Amino acid sequence: MTIHKAKRPARLTTASPDFPNPRAASSAGALFDRRRLLQALAALPLLGLASRKAEAIDIYKTFQTPDAFIAEAFAPGTPPSPTVLDLDAAKQAQISAVFGRPYPQARLRYWKADGRSAWIFDDIGKEGYVPTTCGFVVAGGAIEHARVLIYRESRGEQVAQPSFLQQLIGAKAAGGSLDKKVDNISGATLSVKMMQRMARTALVFDSLTA
């Protein structure tokens, strides 16, 4: 006698639009969720980088452009054309004595007319800080005009205030420093020292053009 086995009913597969496979659907949903999670996690470092860039841009404060400073320094006349000061070893030695290090370039541009010279250069409050750009006008061996042009640190910007800069006006060289007392600013001590150092360096620059 021949025994015939009963045929099993055909399994439903995900290929059947009427009867979707719940297990397959759950697996696909989990995969989709994992992909979304990975995409979100990958975006986090980029968002952090964008935030840090925005913060860096925010602390760069331009109080006056270099062109505006030169125009103001020689107003109401027309500013002279810039001249270049070559900084050889002997001049760098004089600069280092007050600047604390050689000037980082071998040439420095300046403007001079009618016994007055204008200088724009950078300095740092502390090693590792971002350079601050300042402008100075020297006349008769004294600081006649001083401006913070671009301040790039997160604190200490009080040195750009006219009430502080006024203390530098009329200052002359006194050894490696100035002959005028400059009041400190709480929380901005390094920036105050930087401004004194830059003013003293501007006096050296002027003396090198005589």
pLDDT, position 57: 43
DSSP 86-148: E--HHHHHHHHHHHSS--SSSEEEEEEETTEEEEEEEE-SSTTSPPEEEEEEEETTEEEEEEE
User: Greater confidence, 52 or 107?
Assistant: 107
Phi, psi of 118 (to 5 degrees): -120, 140
Asked if residue 13 has pLDDT above 70, the reply is no
* pLDDT for 42: 52
Tokens of 20: 């979707």
pLDDT digits (tens, 9 = 90+) for 44-73: 444 343 344 444 445 689 999 999 999 999
pLDDT tens-place string over residues 151-182: 998 889 999 999 999 999 999 999 999 999 99
Using 50, 70 and 90 to split pLDDT, how confident is the model at 30? low
What is the residue extent of each domain of the chain?
18-58, 61-207
d(CA 92, CA 103): 7
Rounded percentage of the chain residues whose pLDDT exceeds 70: 72
